[in-house]
Amino acid sequence: MDSMNSMDSMDSMEHAIAIKNVTCRYGSTTALQDVSLDIPKNAIYSFIGPSGCGKTTLLRSINRLNDMIPSFRIEGSILVEGKDVYAHSTSEDTAKLRRRIGMIFQQPNPLPSSILKNLLLPVKEHYKGKEKDYRSLALEKLKLSFLYEEIAGQLNQNALSLSGGQQQRLCIARALMLEPPIMLFDEPCSALDPISTFKIEEMLINLKKERSIIIVTHNMEQALRIADYTAFFYQGKIIEAGETGQIFRRPKTDLLKRYITGRF
């Protein structure tokens, strides 16, 4: 908790995201209780913890994706690039916010259309250019997600014909099309084989040079391999947060110690 306090004292503009005293409820169930956390820029922050501990709720609260759930209520504030996303926001503000935050879901979810159409969907939604103007951008993003060599000649093929790992990398490329400075990953590798997982981890390490990344993961080795910072959630609270090395090598609480060693 010490490291968190020291981060609190920094100006919130220094952080990509500042989460302050956030409490989330679904109806009468409390999913998150008074959670505060600062997400630094250009780093990978991993959220770990057992299922149902609130990590995904927090992740989806950042880009207001939980708004779709009618029983969802949130208190506290979440500042993205210094702006409170839940204060005085119109649907226009929310749309703008979401454009600056790329999100990757647990299951690879390309839409049932061609690879190129999948890639162009976000840009064509927000910019007026023609399809061929964005083709080079699409190819560039495919290179970033290590897909270019594998599927370069098949851009008009249906995206669902790709393998699971390729689909997930396509989804990352698609999210990158809007050049989001912040990216949220909700267990992106849990449905993938080790080779695809490795490729995505390598990509994440490249991406963090220019982007702030949060990744929810159940795979502690993954957190240890790629995350600069880690927060451990348990029953709707953050038990420990800080640099990944410290979290894993010198856990302060008994709870985290037991979680890391698998005696939970």
Partner 1 sequence: MLSKKAISPCTNTMKKAFPFDMPQMLITLLSVISIAIIAFIFLFVFSKAWPVFQHNGLSYFISGGFDKQISDAFYSSADDPSLSFGMLGLILGTLLTTTFSLIIAGLMGVGASIFICEYTSGPVSQILLALVRLLASIPSVIFGLIGIVTVVPVVEKLLITIDMQIAYIPYFQMTGKNMLSAIIVLTFMIVPTVISLSADAIKAVPPVYKEIGYSFGMRHFRVVYKIILPSARSGIIAGLILAAGRGIGESIAVSMVCGGLGIIPKAGFGFINFLAPTLPLAPAIINKSEAMGSMPVEAALFSCGATLLVIGAFLSIGAGVVQKQLRKAAGYHD
Query: Is there binding between residue 188 and partner 1 (CB under 8 A)?
Result: no
Q: Which is nearer to partner 1, 11 or 92 (CB)?
A: 92
Q: How far apart are CA 117 and CA 256, in angstroms?
A: 44
Query: Is there binding between residue 107 and partner 1 (CB under 8 A)?
Result: yes
Query: Is there binding between residue 71 and partner 1 (CB under 8 A)?
Result: no
Q: Are strands 101-104 and 44-48 parallel, antiparallel or unpaired?
A: unpaired
**Exposure on the CB side of residue 234, measured as CA atoms within 13 A:** 13
Q: Which of 19, 39, 147, 159 touches partner 1 by CB under 8 A?
A: 159
Query: Is there binding between residue 153 and partner 1 (CB under 8 A)?
Result: no
Least distance CB 25 / partner 1 (angstroms):
19
Torsional class of 162: left (φ above 0), alpha (ψ -120 to 50), beta (otherwise): beta
Residue 166, Cβ density class (10 Å: 0-12 exposed, 13-18 middle, ≥19 buried): buried
Least distance CB 19 / partner 1 (angstroms):
19
Q: Which is nearer to partner 1, 126 or 258 (CB)?
A: 126
Task: List the structure tokens of 25.
Answer: 């409820």
Q: Which is nearer to partner 1, 128 or 263 (CB)?
A: 128
Q: Which is nearer to partner 1, 151 or 255 (CB)?
A: 151
Least distance CB 220 / partner 1 (angstroms):
26
Q: How far apart are CA 118 and CA 16, in angstroms?
A: 28
Tell me the site size for partner 1, rule CB under 8 A.
Answer: 34
Q: How far apart are CA 125 and CA 144, in angstroms?
A: 22
Closest CA relative to residue 200, chosen from 160, 234, 166: 166
Least distance CB 107 / partner 1 (angstroms):
7
Query: Is there binding between residue 195 and partner 1 (CB under 8 A)?
Result: no
Query: Is there binding between residue 68 and partner 1 (CB under 8 A)?
Result: yes
Query: Is there binding between residue 168 and partner 1 (CB under 8 A)?
Result: no
Least distance CB 74 / partner 1 (angstroms):
16
Return residues touching partner 1 (CB under 8 A): 63, 65, 68, 70, 91, 94-99, 101-103, 105, 107, 109, 111-115, 117, 121-122, 125-126, 156-159, 161, 175, 178
